Amino acid sequence: MFSVKLAYRSLRRDGREEVSRLYNFFWRIKALPSAHVTTWRVIENKVASKVNLERRGIGIESNLCCFCRKLEESTNHLFFGCRVAWQIWNLCYDWLWLSSVDHNIPGSHFEHFKILDASTSVNLIMGNVWIALVSEIWRHRNNCLFKGGMVDHSDVFSLAQLKVWSWIVSKISALNFSFSPWYVCIRFNVLTFADNVGEGNRRFIMM
């Protein structure tokens, strides 16, 4: 027999299971703790965006996005909806040879940032890319807000590329290609790596 209470419990259980799957994967990614925590806060909408600061009763001069200066700086807008963020993600999709339907909700964006039919090892590296991009967007936003800096979407993307490569190469001894081929095409190198990596290093990524 249908009841509102049972339906509500079912929806809550399904929601918890979905969040649990997301975070089970998210916390397996090997990234700098500071970047990991920043992106977790983005997914949870706990990052100090201007809209969130207003909701907490903190007075600010303007709630407009630090990048486009046209729309309110919500978490969703800053990282995924702003034209600057859109340009950054497009550079990334071109680099990965991917086509993607953009999601403006952080958790959904993260979950769909994967290569279909690729191994878990490959998609954990994809998770590294996502974390690097989101944390680099946040770093540049703070530079614009507090130091009056300017944002260049190509600079943000290039620094994220370097960040991911340095994270991985410092942790995985079997990674045997330099930054140059990584910079040109991550997809070929990641897939080659996943096919040829030794079991010891594979275990490291899969932890």
Q: What is the pLDDT of residues 138-162, one digit of tens each?
A: 999 999 999 999 999 999 999 999 9
Cβ burial 97-116 (10 Å sphere, 16+ → b, else e)? eeeeeeeeebbebbbebbbe
18, containing H or E segment: helix 4-26
The identity of residue 139, as a single letter, is R
Phi and psi at 8, nearest 5°, equal: -65, -45
Interior angle at CA 179, CA 111 and CA 125, nearest 5: 20
Section 64-80 average pLDDT:
97
The identity of residue 66, as a single letter, is C
pLDDT tens-digit map of 35-65: 999 999 999 999 999 999 999 999 899 999 9
Give the confidence band of 189 by pLDDT, cuts at 50, 70, 90.
Answer: low
Domain ranges of the chain: 32-42+61-206
The pLDDT assigned to 175 comes to 61
156: which 2 tokens?
Answer: 């943000």
